[in-house]
Structure 1
Amino acid sequence: MNALTHQTPTDLAGGDVSTDLADPAFWRLPRDRRLAAFALLREAGGPVRFAPRTGSRTPFHALVTHADVKAASRQPQLFASAPGVTMPEPAPWAKAVFGNSMVNMDGAEHAGLRRTISRAFTPRLLAAAEENIDSVARRLVDEMAVDGPGDFMRSAGARMPFEVICDLMGVPERHRADISARVDGASEYVGVQRRGRARLRIPGRGLRSLARMQLDMAGIARERRRAPADDVISALVRADVGGRSLSSRELGAFFSLLLVAGVETTRNAIAHGMVLLSTHPGQRALLESDFDRYADGAVEEIVRHSTPIIQFRRTVAAECELGGHSFLPGEKVVLLYASANRDAAVFEDPDAFDITRSPNPHLGYGGGGPHHCLGAHLAKLEMKALFREMLTRLDGIRATAAPGLVDSNFDNRVRSLPFTFERCHPNSSV
Structure 2
Amino acid sequence: MGTPTRTTCAVVGGGPAGLFLGLLLARAGVDVTVLEKHADFLRDFRGDTVHPSTMTLLDELGLWPEFSQLPWKPIERASVILDAGEAPVADLSRLRQPHPFIAMVPQWHLLDLLARAAAAEPGFTLLRRARVDGTISSRGRVTGVRWTDADGGTHELTADLVVACDGRDSVLRTGSGLPLRDFRVPMDVWWFRLPRGDQQDPAGALARVSGGRMVILLDRGDHYQVAYLLPAGDDAQRRSVPVTELQEALRELHPWLGDRVRGVRAWDDVKLLRVALNRLHRWSAPGLLCIGDAAHAMSPVGGVGINLAVQDAVAAARFLAPVLRVAAPDPAAVDRAAVRVHRRRWWPVAITQGGQRIAHRTVIRAALSGRGSGTRMPWGLRVVARLPFLQAIPARLVGVGALPEHAPAFARRPG
Sort the TM-score into its range (normalised by shorter chain).
under 0.3
TM-score with structure 1 setting the length = 0.24
- In proportion to residue count, which structure has more helix? 1
TM-score by length of 2: 0.24
